[in-house]
């Protein structure tokens, strides 16, 4: 990359003057001006390069600027940039076919949205109309999107400012052996007790009032807690027992992230609705959607589905999805995530954990890993308090700054760093990243006691 600090300064100045940023106190942020990106890297206008251990917001599953996807978007733009959703359009038909071929079970109908939150909105609407029931059960440790219903379903603190008393949402605790809410001593107990807690919650809410249970198959931003054996199959059984729609949110976990096309495949579980976005086309053009079971599709066979979007199945986004899915298949991207996740990432992170007292736990699968940073390994006290800001968050800020200084852009959420590089990352790139994490964890170590 050619350094060009003057352009960088102008880009930054216009941003600061006019761009209103997500989830931020506008005066307290300092966004990096990014000049370009390719593969697993991006760079600033001073020519400093970063290895992207975040995949953007965990969505560039094939990295930046994949030439085949860029070419497919250019070609689609040259032939049919856009067309209204009521028509049958080649890119849309083909994207739906490729997605439906990969989704588990009989999830064979695809409703396209512009992203993940609106996919969740529509999945919940479908579940309510299909069952005629009002409530949705969701996990405290979850994130489902920033629109009104999706943020209400969300468990994490991003919900607090938008909580509504009329949302019809009931939250429950999901398995997390490292910080068990169930006093469990092993995964089997955790799974059984979490299921018992869920079924009791349903009994006290009234089973006939619950339309849907929504879960991230592997919770993402909340901390990458791979569910213990039997849990998701147990939730499936509970849903069947009470006629509740089971929604799996695979906006983050889908399209290769866990080393499977869908994380549901890790557990052999088939939901009634599955939401996706992000990795479906690596976010090159905004796209999300809901994959719908035969039974729910049938509800809307003769009765109109009351919902839609101007850009549902936008041709540019769908062409990017077709190209992305084909690239992932041709280049073995899902297999790469599975193979390097097991043979390189897992062992390397375990080795870092051995040497760094700030690492309380390493967990994950595929290219989806979390390091839980702690003040003290015995007490498991988090390195920073839940939802800490400002001075209270200084240890994590120092960790992130050190990682960046060593050339890795880290994903940081509360007291965790997530290792979520593109699913087509190479072994050499991973090793470069772990060397930087090693240095940054030494900084985190200075805050342990």
Interface residues with ligand PLP (CB under 6 A) are 57, 115-117, 120, 143-146, 216, 220-221, 249, 251-252, 277, 288
CB of 278 to ligand PLP, least distance (A): 7
- How far apart, in Å, are the Cα atoms of 342 and each of 64, 209, 302, 366? 24, 42, 47, 7
Nearer to ligand PLP, 120 or 325 (CB): 120
Comparison of 120 and 292: residue with beta carbon closer to ligand PLP: 120
Which residues neighbour 142 within 8 Å (Cβ) at sequence distance 6 or greater?
A: 153, 154, 155, 156, 174, 214, 215, 216, 219, 222, 249
Sheet (strand 49-52) strand order: 34-38, 41-44, 49-52, 408-409
CB 200 within 8 A of CB 245: no
How far is residue 125 from each of residues 59, 168, 175, measured CA to CA in Å?
A: 25, 12, 26
CB of 57 to ligand PLP, least distance (A): 6
| Separation between Cα atoms, residue 271 and residue 112, nearest integer Å | 18
CA dist 335 and 218 (Å) reads: 18
CB of 262 to ligand PLP, least distance (A): 13
Task: Give 74-81 contacts, CB < 8 A, sequence gap 24+.
Answer: 75/319, 76/315, 76/316, 76/319, 76/320, 77/316, 80/315, 81/315, 81/316
Choose between 252 and 374: whose C-beta lies nearer to ligand PLP.
Answer: 252
**Closest approach of ligand PLP to the CB of residue 310, in Å:** 17
260, 147 Cβ separation under 8 angstroms: no
Minimum Å gap between C-beta 267 and ligand PLP is 16
User: Which residue lies nearer to ligand PLP by CB, 163 or 188?
Assistant: 163
In the complex, which residue's CB is closest to ligand PLP?
A: 116
Stretch (H or E) spanning 400 = helix 394-405
Cβ distance to ligand PLP smaller for residue 44 or 265: 265
Nearer to ligand PLP, 337 or 440 (CB): 337
In the complex, least distance from residue 330 CB atom to ligand PLP, rounded to whole angstroms: 26
CA distance 269 to 194: 17
- DSSP structure class, residue 376: E
Q: Quick one: 283 or 433, whose CB is closer to ligand PLP?
A: 283
Q: Considering the complex, state which of residue 115 and residue 228 has its C-beta at the smaller distance from ligand PLP.
A: 115
CB of 379 to ligand PLP, least distance (A): 30
* β-bridge partners, 419: 369
Residues facing 344 on adjacent strands: none
- 174 burial type by CB count under 10 A (0-12 exposed, 13-18 middle, 19+ buried): buried
Q: Measured from the CB of residue 49, what is the shortest distance to ligand PLP in angstroms?
A: 25
């Amino acid at each position: 990359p050619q350094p060009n600090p003057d352009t960088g300064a102008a880009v930054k100045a216009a941003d600061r003057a006019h761009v209103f940023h997500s989830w931020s106190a506008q005066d307290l942020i300092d966004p990096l001006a990014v000049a370009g990106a390719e593969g697993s890297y991006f760079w600033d206008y001073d020519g400093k390069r970063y290895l992207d251990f975040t995949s953007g917001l965990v969505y560039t599953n094939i990295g930046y600027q994949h030439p085949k996807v860029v070419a497919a978007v250019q070609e689609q733009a040259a032939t049919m940039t856009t067309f209204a959703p009521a028509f049958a359009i080649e890119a849309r038909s083909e994207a739906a076919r490729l997605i439906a071929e990969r989704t588990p079970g009989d999830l064979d109908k695809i409703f396209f949205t512009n992203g993940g939150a609106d996919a969740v909105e529509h999945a919940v609407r479908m579940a309510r109309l299909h069952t005629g029931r009002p409530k949705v059960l969701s996990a405290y440790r979850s994130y489902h999107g920033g629109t009104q219903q999706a943020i209400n379903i969300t468990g994490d603190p991003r919900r607090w400012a938008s909580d509504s008393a009329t949302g019809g949402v009931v939250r429950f605790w999901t398995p997390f052996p490292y910080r068990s809410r169930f006093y469990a001593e092993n995964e089997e107990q955790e799974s059984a007790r979490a299921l018992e807690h869920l079924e009791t919650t349903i009994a006290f809410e009234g089973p006939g009032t619950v339309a849907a249970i929504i879960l991230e198959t592997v919770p993402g931003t909340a901390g990458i807690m791979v569910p213990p054996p039997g849990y998701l199959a147990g939730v499936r059984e509970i849903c069947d027992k009470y006629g509740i729609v089971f929604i799996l949110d695979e906006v983050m976990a889908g399209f290769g992230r866990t080393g499977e096309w869908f994380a549901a495949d890790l557990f052999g579980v088939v939901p009634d609705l599955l939401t996706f976005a992000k990795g479906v086309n690596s976010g090159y053009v905004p796209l999300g959607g809901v994959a719908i079971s035969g039974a729910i599709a049938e509800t809307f066979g003769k009765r109109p589905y009351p919902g839609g979007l101007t850009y549902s199945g936008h041709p540019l986004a769908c062409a990017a999805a077709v190209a992305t899915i084909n690239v992932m298949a041709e280049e073995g991207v899902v297999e790469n995530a599975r193979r390097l996740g097991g043979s390189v990432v897992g062992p390397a992170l375990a080795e870092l954990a051995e040497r760094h007292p700030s690492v309380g736990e390493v967990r994950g699968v595929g290219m989806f890993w979390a390091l839980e940073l702690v003040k003290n390994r015995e007490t498991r006290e988090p390195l920073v308090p839940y939802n800490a800001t400002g001075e209270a968050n200084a240890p994590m800020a120092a960790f992130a700054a050190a990682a960046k200084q060593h050339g890795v852009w880290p994903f940081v959420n509360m007291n965790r760093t997530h290792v979520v590089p593109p699913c087509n990352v190479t072994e050499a790139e991973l090793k470069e990243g772990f060397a930087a994490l090693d240095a940054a964890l030494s900084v985190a170590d200075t805050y342990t006691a």
